[in-house]
Structure 1
Amino acid sequence: MQVFPRACVCVLAAGESKRMGSCKLLAPFAGSTLLERALKAAVGCAAEEAVAVTGAYRDDMADAIARADVREAYNPSWRSGQSTSVRTAARFTAAHGYDLLLVMVADQPYVEAEHLDALLRAYAAGGVHACVTQDALRRGNPCLFDRACFPLIEELDGDEGARSMLRAHPEIAVRAVPADARVLDDVDTPDELARIEEAILDGR
């Protein structure tokens, strides 16, 4: 497998899961958990390193992170929204000498290593500073950013994700990477967890 030695993939797993009422990432899901699925995808892709960005449930996630053999980047400001986790990811990436940051959120169970690799290949084709996932109607995570974007990520605030940075800076060259609509689906409620789990177990 080709390895992208300049790339770090960060799994954002710091949120409180308010709408779920408990830690959704550790709830039983299709024989594992959302966190374990996300870490498996991250470890399996061609980025040199995979990292878990933790926050609200840091201690509860420690065993799963250790089993996946990935490093942790703790976000002490997780209560202030997703922007703080994206900033934590960018700071870890820069501090450890990587030039490319792949951002994925742990509650998108259809994201697999193959799609992360597609983002890396799209960047490697040249001419852009960022790559985003896109279906017929939406753009979203996972996303990829190079070092030119890291100072702009520092401008994010509250629950703004990295896509907000791209909207605020249209001068950044971006390449959209096509994906099935399911890849962009995320889990926020018990009903969504049950529905998507059933679909995955049925092979949908």
Structure 2
Amino acid sequence: MKVGLLLAAGQGSRFGGDKCLAPLADGTPLVLQAARNLQGAVDHLVVIARPGDSALQQLMRDQGFTVVACDKAHLGMAESLKCGVAATPSASGWLIAFADMPFIQPASYQAVADSLSSDDSLCVPFCQDKQGHPVGFGCGYRQLLLALQGDVGARSILKQYPDKIQRLTLDDAGIVWDIDRPEDLQQANKQLSNDQKG
């Protein structure tokens, strides 16, 4: 069972508040668009949220997604990741995705999921030589994922096993496009609007 872990427990400090529920040009919240794009590539999707973020949790549950509230989310990204891994012990692998990356194409998620062919699979997508997301981990990395600390996610595992990494070259700028600040969202919505007109 391939599991998508959608990390949505950040504080959104650079955004000035809860960016997960910020609307795209068509009104869809960032987190919902990210979840929908990821959904088709995995057998099970788990959204990791802050305990007090009731609006986000309700939105995701209303859409039929599993929500895990991470009590230690404030300690950094590693805690959210560990919550998701611990909640899915039967997973054959995980796609680590982010709620503030709503422009990753479903096909890109599928390509990473397809690359998880064994327990020791590691997959990292690239677009024009820029490393992106989601990153895929086979279930053989479960204990290492559960031992992570701090706010750097799973980068340390990638550094530890460079020879295991399968580099996927994708023609999808969405894999390196995240929304950190309100102006990022404004620019994205403007570009999307122009694309639709074109």
Q: TM-score, normalised by structure 1?
A: 0.87
Deviates more, 1:130-139 or 1:103-112: 130-139
Q: How does 1:15-34 map to 2 (within 5 A)?
A: 15-31=10-26, 32-34=28-30
Residues 187 and 159 of structure 1: CA distance in aligned 2, closer, same or farther (over 3 Å): same
Does the Cα contact within 8 Å between 2:49 and 2:70 map onto a contact in 1?
Answer: yes
Deviates more, 1:185-194 or 1:171-180: 171-180
Q: How does 1:90-169 map to 2 (within 5 A)?
A: 90-94=85-89, 97-124=90-117, 129-167=121-159, 169=160
Does the Cα contact within 8 Å between 1:16 and 1:56 map onto a contact in 2?
Answer: no
| CA offset digits 1:31-78 (Å, max 9, x no partner) | 2110110111122x2311111111165202123202320111111101
Residues 41 and 154 of structure 1: CA distance in aligned 2, closer, same or farther (over 3 Å): same
What SS does structure 1 have at the residue aligned with 2:133? strand
The yes-or-no answer on 1:70 pairing with 2:69 is no
- Identical residues among aligned pairs (%): 22
Q: Equivalent of 1:175, from 166, 178, 193?
A: 166
What SS does structure 1 have at the residue aligned with 2:87? helix
Residues 171 and 177 of structure 1: CA distance in aligned 2, closer, same or farther (over 3 Å): closer
Tell me how far apart the structure 1 counterparts of residues 72 and 193 of structure 2 sit (CA, whole Å).
36
Residue identity opposite 2:97 in structure 1: M
Aligned-pair CA distance for 1:136: 2.1
Aligned-pair CA distance for 1:172: 5.8
Partner of 1:3: none
What SS does structure 2 have at the residue aligned with 1:198? helix
Does the Cα contact within 8 Å between 1:15 and 1:78 map onto a contact in 2?
Answer: yes
Tell me how far apart the structure 1 counterparts of residues 57 and 86 of structure 2 sit (CA, whole Å).
21
Residue identity opposite 1:69 in structure 2: G
Structure in which a larger fraction of residues adopt strand? 1
Tell me how far apart the structure 1 counterparts of residues 163 and 53 of structure 2 sit (CA, whole Å).
34
Instruction: In structure 2, list runs of 5 or more residues that go unmatched.
Output: none
Q: TM-score, normalised by structure 2?
A: 0.90
Aligned-pair CA distance for 1:165: 2.0
Instruction: In structure 1, list runs of 5 or more residues that go unmatched.
Output: 1-5
RMSD: 1.9
Aligned-pair CA distance for 1:196: 1.2
Does the Cα contact within 8 Å between 1:78 and 1:85 map onto a contact in 2?
Answer: yes
Deviates more, 1:126-135 or 1:179-188: 126-135
